């Protein structure tokens, strides 16, 4: 399975002594830490996003008596993928229970609220609507860039110690990709300008903004005290949305067994918010398709098919089918409508890494 992590951040803590400017305070030198931040470039372009702004929030004594130490937003003069930001240095207070939150490309609408954050509880409750960062074509607006967050805790550094901590940041949105595929000999499929359409039902745009990361040890722990963040659930029916893509061109293709054949092609994508579904399936994602070509001139489609299961691949590469219970950030949920000789059926939906599609095997047979 593709690695769905995004950027790796190196946090280097170097502690030193300095004196305050106040004459009285100069008698009591304080220990401070210089926090140097660097992004690692792993050369995987499918995992990189342009970084425009980066915010560092540091809390001390996280397990009890938590205190805000740093809240600083940096605007990068020359945005770029995996930008080297080693020059960004923060002064923080040494502690044996430090939490660092990194926020990249925060939506402009959240800057004022994030500037005022002083508690972990307030940060956890920040929510945003991803519609505000999408343009009229449904793509992430260039002025903001892809919002990303990372949370790591349990950092302990003492005076005269240098420590490097590795963490990841992940996208704060999910994506649904819809593909169309010709699957066997003689199969012909395609779409028609202004006629073929795909509708995604029961998705939401709202999500809590900052969430812990499994790779950083701040999400999915059996001990909930080690986790940070929360996910929207029990969303009112009035908040569920649907969006329709309509083909802007006409294209047809036939199945080919050639090794370089493009039997499977992307129709459309939708950005959606992280959310937990209700147990009764009433708010799970559903898909409708109309006027999909099946051996022209005939057409076929599907109406509001609810997706109930999902295929995941473990670290050994073994796929397993599980109930579809939630939408997670930094995941791509890929659905493929397959044109062959049997009727229409949704079997499962696969979770893939961000980037160009590889093995796409949600099956809607047409």
Predicted confidence (pLDDT) per residue in 309-334, tens digit: 887 766 676 777 888 899 999 888 88
Residue 214 lies in a domain: no
Residues 256 and 163 in one domain: no
- On whether both 122 and 76 belong to a single domain, the answer is yes
Is there a single domain that holds both residue 194 and residue 339? yes
Domain end point (choices 122, 147, 171)? 171
Q: Are residues 69 and 190 in the same domain?
A: no
Residues 151 and 189 in one domain: no
User: Is it the case that residue 282 has pLDDT exceeding 60?
Assistant: yes
Q: How far apart are CA 190 and CA 292, in angstroms?
A: 6
Q: Has residue 282 been placed in a domain?
A: yes
- Residue 228 placed within a domain: no
Q: Which of 127, 124, 220, 174 has its CA nearest to residue 328?
A: 174
Residue 211 has a pLDDT of: 96
**196 and 166 in a common domain:** no
pLDDT of residue 7: 63
Residues 167 and 178 in one domain: no
CATH number at residue 158: 2.60.40.2580
Can you read off the two tokens belonging to residue 222?
A: 């059996």
Which residues, in sequence order, are CB contacts of 120 under 8 Å at separation 6+? 59, 62, 66, 99, 228
114/67 same-domain check: yes
Q: How far apart are CA 41 and CA 82, in angstroms?
A: 5
> For the segment 76-89, what is each residue's pLDDT rounded down to a tens digit?
776 665 544 544 57
Question: Has residue 229 been placed in a domain?
Answer: no
Name the nearest CA neighbour of 231 among 215, 243, 220, 241. Answer: 220
Does the residue 342 lie in any domain?
yes
Last residue in a domain, options 171, 189, 220: 171
Residue 318: predicted pLDDT: 75
More confident residue, 252 or 347: 252
- Determine the average pLDDT of the residues in 183-208: 92
Q: What are the backbone dihedrals phi and psi of residue 296, each rounded to the nearest 5 degrees, phi first?
A: -40, 140
What's the pLDDT tens digit per position in 20-66? 333 333 433 445 667 766 666 555 555 567 888 889 999 999 999 99
- pLDDT, tens only, 232-268: 999 999 999 999 999 999 999 998 999 999 998 999 9
- Residue range(s) defining the domain that contains residue 354: 174-204+240-365
**What's the whole-model pTM score?**
0.86
pLDDT above 90 (res 92): no
Residue 2: pLDDT band with limits 50, 70, 90: very low
**Predicted local distance difference test score (pLDDT) of residue 182:** 86
Rounded to the nearest integer, the mean pLDDT of the chain is 81
Residue 318: give its domain's CATH number: 2.60.40.3380
User: What are 120-165's pLDDT values in tens digits?
Assistant: 999 999 999 999 999 988 888 888 888 999 999 998 877 667 777 8
Provide the domain count of the chain. 2
Same domain membership, residue 286 and residue 299: yes
Last residue of a domain, one of 147, 171, 195: 171
pLDDT at 344: 42
- Span 221-227, mean pLDDT? 93
Query: Could you tell me which residue, 99 or 10, shows the higher pLDDT?
Result: 99
Residue 219 lies in a domain: no
Q: Which residue has the higher pLDDT, 18 or 314?
A: 314
Judged against a pLDDT cut of 70, whether residue 340 lies above it is answered with yes
pLDDT for the residue 29: 41
Residue 227 counted as domain residue: no
Structure token pair of residue 303:
């109406």
pLDDT of 355 above 60: no
Instruction: Decide if 31 is inside a domain.
Output: yes
Residues 182 and 319 occupy one common structural domain = yes
Q: Do 183 and 302 fall within a single domain? A: yes
In this structure, are 259 and 151 located in the same domain?
no
């Amino acid at each position: 399975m593709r690695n769905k992590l995004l950027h790796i951040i190196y946090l280097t803590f170097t502690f030193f002594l300095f004196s305050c400017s106040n004459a009285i305070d100069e008698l009591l030198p304080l220990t401070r830490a210089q926090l140097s931040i660097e992004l690692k470039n792993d050369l995987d372009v499918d995992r990189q996003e342009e970084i425009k702004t980066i915010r560092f929030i540091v809390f001390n004594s996280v397990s009890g008596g938590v205190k805000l130490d740093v809240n600083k937003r940096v605007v990068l003069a020359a945005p770029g993928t995996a930008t080297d930001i080693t020059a960004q240095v923060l002064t923080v207070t040494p502690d044996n229970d430090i939490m660092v939150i990194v926020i990249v490309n925060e939506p402009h609408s959240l800057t004022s609220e994030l500037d005022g954050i002083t508690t972990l509880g307030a940060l956890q409750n920040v929510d945003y609507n991803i519609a505000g960062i999408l343009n009229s074509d449904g793509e992430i607006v260039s002025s903001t860039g892809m919002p990303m967050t990372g949370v790591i805790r349990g950092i302990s550094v003492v005076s005269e110690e240098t420590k490097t901590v590795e963490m990841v940041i992940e996208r704060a949105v999910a994506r649904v990709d819809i593909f169309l595929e010709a699957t066997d000999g003689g199969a012909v499929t395609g779409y028609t300008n202004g006629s073929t359409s795909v509708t995604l039902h029961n998705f939401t745009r709202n999500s809590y903004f900052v969430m812990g990361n499994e790779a950083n040890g701040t999400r999915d722990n059996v001990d909930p005290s080690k986790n940070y963040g929360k996910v929207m659930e029990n969303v009112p029916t009035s908040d569920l949305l649907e969006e329709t893509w309509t083909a802007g061109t006409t294209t047809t293709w036939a199945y080919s067994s050639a090794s370089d054949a493009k039997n499977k092609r992307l129709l459309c994508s939708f950005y959606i918010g992280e959310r937990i579904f209700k147990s009764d399936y009433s708010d799970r994602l559903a898909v409708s398709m109309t006027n999909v070509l099946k051996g022209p001139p005939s057409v076929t489609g599907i109406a509001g098919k609810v997706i109930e299961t999902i295929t995941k691949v473990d670290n050994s590469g073994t796929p397993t089918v599980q109930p579809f219970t939630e939408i997670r950030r930094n995941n791509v949920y890929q659905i493929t409508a397959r044109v062959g000789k049997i009727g229409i059926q949704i079997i499962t939906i696969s979770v893939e890494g961000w980037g160009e599609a590889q093995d796409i095997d949600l099956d809607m047979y047409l």
